[in-house]
Amino acid sequence: MNSRSLLSKIAMYLILLVMGVLVISPFLWMLSVSFDRVSNMRIPFPPSFIPSEFAIFNYELVFENGRILRAYLNSTFVTLASVTLQVSAALLGGYAFSKGKFRGKKALFILVLATMMIPIEARLIPLYQMFNASGLLNTLWPVIVPSILYGFGVFLCKQYFDRIPDSLREAAQIDGAGEFRTFFQVYLPLAGPIAATMIILSFMGNWNEFVWPLVVLNDENLHTIPLFLASFSLENGTALAGMTMALATMSVLPIIIAFLFLQRYIIQSIALSGIKE
């Protein structure tokens, strides 16, 4: 029985190793091409994970163009503002639906969940008309403001706050604390894991957002990283593969950094808060 268990574990690890290699291979090839000096003249084929002539030449060319720095600033501003609004609204909404007592709470919560089922394609025209009427088109605000509606985040926060006993809220109310004070001083300090999880998900979603910014941002000076990468690829195709891969590497670097720092909180957010009822 022990040998059978050992063999099953070895087989499982081998399968996971093979799947991991298959998943990470495109990223390793992208990194290899970005550091290959001759990749702008021809794409290495068959694909190789070791650059034929290692150099940072492609990255130097990328940073010589000031547009990528402007695109980085635009993406950073949009992402940080959107993440702040999304996470704040989700935490407050999740707390209200979990601990609040008001008429129509279940119906309103179902309505919030229903927003998750409406694809962005169905909302493009109404959102475009709304921002066009308000005169905010071709600014960064149409990209930021709709991010407040984060139904999935509200759902996650509600499920997390449901696991925290109501006795904490009752004790705070006995001490004379109002709802906002109870939330900020009692429940918010316990919501670190779920907040970190939402920051990761929100950061990835907003940093990679492409369709909606493409509709509302026509000025190249306002382009975010995905729009800049798409326009560069459209202009050059595969003629400058090395520069394109260097741009792609720079575009995913912030997401990788954020994930490496916050990944452990994903598991913690699934577990109980550690407070026994």
pLDDT tens-digit map of 28-44: 888 888 888 777 776 76
pLDDT recorded at residue 277: 39
188 occurs within a structural domain: yes
- pLDDT value at 77 more than 90: yes
- pLDDT value at 5 more than 60: yes
- Per the structure, the complete domain to which residue 172 belongs is given by 64-270
Q: Where does a domain end: 18, 37, 55?
A: 55
- pLDDT value at 271 more than 60: no
**pLDDT tens per residue across span 159-185:** 889 888 888 888 888 888 888 888 888
Out of 130-144, 210-224, 261-275, least confident range: 261-275
Upstream peptide bond of 119 is cis (omega within 30 degrees of 0): no
Higher pLDDT, 73 or 265: 73
User: For position 118, which CATH number holds?
Assistant: 1.10.3720.10
Q: Please list, in sequence order, all residues whose beta carbon lies within 8 angstroms of the beta carbon of residue 154, skipping any fewer than 6 positions away.
A: 89, 90, 93, 94, 97, 112
> Does one domain contain both 240 and 195?
yes
276 occurs within a structural domain: no
Q: Tell me the mean pLDDT in the region 193-203.
A: 85
Q: Where does a domain end: 21, 37, 55?
A: 55
DSSP letter assigned to residue 46: S
- pLDDT value at 239 more than 70: no
> Does one domain contain both 127 and 96?
yes
pLDDT recorded at residue 144: 92
- Write down the mean pLDDT value for the chain: 83
CA-based nearest residue to 204, from 148, 120, 262: 262
pLDDT recorded at residue 86: 92
33 occurs within a structural domain: yes
275 occurs within a structural domain: no
Higher pLDDT, 183 or 238: 183
* 63: confidence class by pLDDT, cuts 50, 70, 90: confident
pLDDT recorded at residue 198: 86
Q: Tell me the mean pLDDT in the region 181-204.
A: 86
* Structural domains counted in the chain: 2
> Does one domain contain both 227 and 131?
yes
Q: Please list, in sequence order, all residues whose beta carbon lies within 8 angstroms of the beta carbon of residue 55, skipping any fewer than 6 positions away.
A: 35, 36, 37
* 274: confidence class by pLDDT, cuts 50, 70, 90: very low
User: How would you label 236-247 residue by residue, b for 16+ Cβ within 10 Å and e otherwise?
Assistant: eeeebbbbbbbb
36 occurs within a structural domain: yes
> Does one domain contain both 94 and 76?
yes
CA-based nearest residue to 90, from 166, 144, 143, 161: 161
> Does one domain contain both 42 and 70?
no
Out of 88-97, 115-124, 138-147, 264-273, least confident range: 264-273
Higher pLDDT, 54 or 239: 54
Cross-strand partners of 54:
36
Q: Tell me the mean pLDDT in the region 70-91.
A: 92
pLDDT recorded at residue 80: 93
> Does one domain contain both 35 and 161?
no
* 267: confidence class by pLDDT, cuts 50, 70, 90: low
Give the predicted TM-score (pTM) of the model: 0.80
Q: Which two tokens stand for residue 42?
A: 């021809």
> Does one domain contain both 51 and 174?
no
> Does one domain contain both 75 and 26?
no
> Does one domain contain both 42 and 178?
no
**pLDDT tens per residue across span 204-223:** 889 988 889 988 988 888 88
- pLDDT value at 262 more than 90: no
> Does one domain contain both 35 and 85?
no
277 occurs within a structural domain: no
